[in-house]
Amino acid sequence: MKRNLVQLKNVVKWVRGLTYSKKDEVEKNGIPVLRATNIDLANHKIILDDVRYISKSAKVKEEKYVKKDDILICTASGSKIHLGKVALVEKNLNMAFGGFMAVLKCNNECHSKFLYYHLITNSFKKYLSSLNDGSNINNLKFSQIEDYEFFLPTLKEQQRIVDKLDKIFYEIDKVTELTKKNILNLKSYYSYTIDKEFSKYSNELQQIGNYSKINYGYTAKASFDKGNYKLLRITDIQNNSVDWNTVPYCNVESHKLSSVILKHGDIVFARTGATTGKSFLIQNPVNSIFASYLIRISVDREILLPRFLMHFFQSAKYWQQVNDGISGSAQGGFNSSKLSQLKIPIISKSNQQKLVEKFDLINEYSSKLQDYYYKKTIHLHSLRQAILSKELVAKQKEAA
């Protein structure tokens, strides 16, 4: 055995999550079950925003409940980037964990948080990436990672390193949270400024559907190798931009093309999922259509400027209407009928142009500042990984 190096299988017990059927699920007053979505990919923390419940009549073994110092790990996901993500259970939660999850339970030679810090290093993530067999089915078995070798000093030294990392990361977390707040404050300033300026010109509100054509996108299989048209999807819209070079292709039936071809000045709108309400202004598209989880709005340009409507879609009043619509939906989405009923301010085109110019300027400066703070969060993440590498990975190489 190499000095201070151990394999994962020698210091942990692997326990698979709970499997249950759809009929076992209840709305509330049941047994809470943590799923892969309850682990935040960015900060490796447990999030309790969307916890599922199963009936208390379901038989759940004691080992299927998470305990303090367990390490939760995602074992199955539709996206490989989430496979193997971990979170440390820092207190007893009285919650079970689902079938696409497992827990690692350390023996008395291994400090749970010390191992957790190992498992969030880029070194472990690269190890996970090396397991990728190209399959579309993503499933992580313990046999695939049980031989992972890592640096494990004495318990006393593990505790010293954990204490040191905790102290450093506490300070980094404070700066990170402040940076994120600055980004949110900039977004809020932009959206509430829009509302304030609109109210100066008109309080008359009309339904969007009175001044636009609204329709759903095209259902097709995406391909990165062949197709006649680019297929714009929700996931292709990031940070209010699209990298068209990464957008896949598809083939379109000729008789359906006219209803889904994208034109300059169209606005596409996400109608489902976590990004419901997110919108994007299409500019100079080339042979592109939009996918079925998007809704396209084509405005009457005799009445509305597309950029004016696009700015309205960033306002606080707009998001209030969207959120009210989502809360009243059993599926949590937003359909074309609801979109057509959204109320927008109607003002003269000359005043629309004045507001567009003003909002463009505000948005430009706001975006630059947001980009600065966003890059700062990336630097903070890199700093965290550099510290982990120095304290753990470097010592692992020395021990080898």
pLDDT of residue 269: 94
Percent of the chain scoring above 90 in pLDDT: 67
Q: Which CATH class name applies to 203-346? A: alpha beta
Q: Which of 90, 94, 105, 114 is nearest to 33 (CA)?
A: 94
pLDDT of residue 328: 58
Strand 229-232 vs strand 288-290: parallel, antiparallel, or unpaired? Answer: parallel
Write out the two tokens for 267: 């606005």
For 68-105, how does the pLDDT look when each residue is reduced to its tens digit (9 = 90+)?
A: 999 999 998 877 888 999 999 999 999 999 989 999 99
**Statement: residue 136 has pLDDT above 50:** no
pLDDT of residue 1: 42
**Statement: residue 133 has pLDDT above 70:** no
Distance of CA 16 to CAs 10, 21, 148, Å?
Answer: 18, 16, 18
| Averaged pLDDT for residues 287-303 | 94
Write out the two tokens for 54: 């199963």
pLDDT of residue 341: 93
Q: Which CATH class name applies to 5-152? A: alpha beta
For 141-184, how does the pLDDT look when each residue is reduced to its tens digit (9 = 90+)?
A: 999 999 999 999 999 999 999 999 999 999 999 999 999 999 98
| Averaged pLDDT for residues 351-356 | 94
pLDDT of residue 2: 53
Domain boundaries, the chain: 5-152, 203-346
**Statement: residue 28 has pLDDT above 50:** yes
For 335-347, how does the pLDDT look when each residue is reduced to its tens digit (9 = 90+)?
A: 889 999 999 988 9
pLDDT band at 233 (very low <50, low <70, confident <90, very high): very high
Decide if 5-152 and 203-346 have a common fold: yes
210-244 per-residue burial string, b: 16 or more CB within 10 A, e: under 16:
ebbebebbbebeeeeeebebbbbbbebbeeeebee
The answer to whether the CB of 87 falls within 8 A of the CB of 71 is yes
**Statement: residue 134 has pLDDT above 70:** no
